[in-house]
């Protein structure tokens, strides 16, 4: 599932404990850094976002590469993807994907200092049948808002609104 992206070698995990174990300390270490850039994949033909591909956030030279898959899998990479290299061997769709530093949701946060990182687990009441139960989102909190990258049922979503009440929030402690 590399999708022709240079350096993308996802290591998907699932469940809040596995995500915290695999990624928690490194995510927490980002606190205090500024978001200096980002990259998403868009289609050349119409400019639409290809949400299956990783969302890359650059925090002063430390790039976080967030990608959701299936209903409950999450992979976070660290400065592995080269967004300057064209996406190769593309045969999935009739459109042509390319890296872009344009996104109206992410752009307002560039230059802002990261204040907190949290993991959010989707946990509706037990009597509610929900195939997304256990999905883990990553939330980046800034002074004037937050960016949550969540699982949109087998693809990424970028959310700026307050988290739904069915999320259980796990704040990652800032490193000492």
Task: Provide the pLDDT confidence category of residue 63 given band limits of 50, 70 and 90.
Answer: very high
On the question of pLDDT at 25 being above 70, the answer is yes
Mean pLDDT (the chain, rounded): 91
Note whether 155 and 140 are within 8 A (CB). Answer: no
- pLDDT value at residue 129: 85
Between 93 and 81, where is the model more confident? 81
Calculate Rg over the CA atoms of the chain.
16
Q: How far apart are CA 74 and CA 123, in angstroms?
A: 16
What residues contact residue 28 under an 8 Å CB cut-off, 6+ apart? 117, 172, 173, 174, 175
In this predicted structure, what is the pLDDT of residue 124?
Answer: 80
Residue where the block lists tokens 């960016």:
147
Query: Vertex 155, ends 138 and 147: CA angle to 5°?
Result: 30
107 φ/ψ angles, rounded to the nearest 5 degrees: -55, -40
Q: Is the pTM of this model over 0.85?
A: yes
Question: Would you say residue 1 has pLDDT above 50?
Answer: no
Residue 90 has pLDDT above 70, yes or no: no
């Amino acid at each position: 599932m590399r999708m022709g992206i240079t350096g993308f070698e996802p290591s998907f995990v699932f469940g809040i404990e596995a995500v915290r174990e695999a990624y928690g300390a490194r995510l927490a270490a980002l606190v205090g850094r500024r978001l200096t850039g980002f990259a998403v994949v868009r289609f050349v033909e119409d400019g639409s976002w290809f949400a299956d591909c990783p969302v890359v956030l650059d925090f002063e030279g430390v790039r976080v590469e967030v990608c959701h898959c299936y209903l409950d899998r999450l992979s976070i990479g660290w400065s592995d993807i080269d967004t300057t290299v064209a996406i190769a061997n593309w045969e999935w769709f009739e459109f042509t994907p390319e890296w872009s530093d344009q996104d109206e949701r992410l752009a307002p946060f560039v230059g802002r200092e990261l204040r907190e990182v949290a993991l959010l687990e989707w946990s509706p009441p037990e009597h509610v049948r929900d195939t997304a139960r256990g999905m883990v989102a990553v939330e980046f909190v800034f002074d004037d808002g937050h960016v949550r990258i969540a699982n949109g049922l087998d693809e990424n979503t970028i959310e700026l609104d307050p988290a739904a009440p069915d999320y259980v929030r796990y704040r990652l402690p800032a490193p000492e």
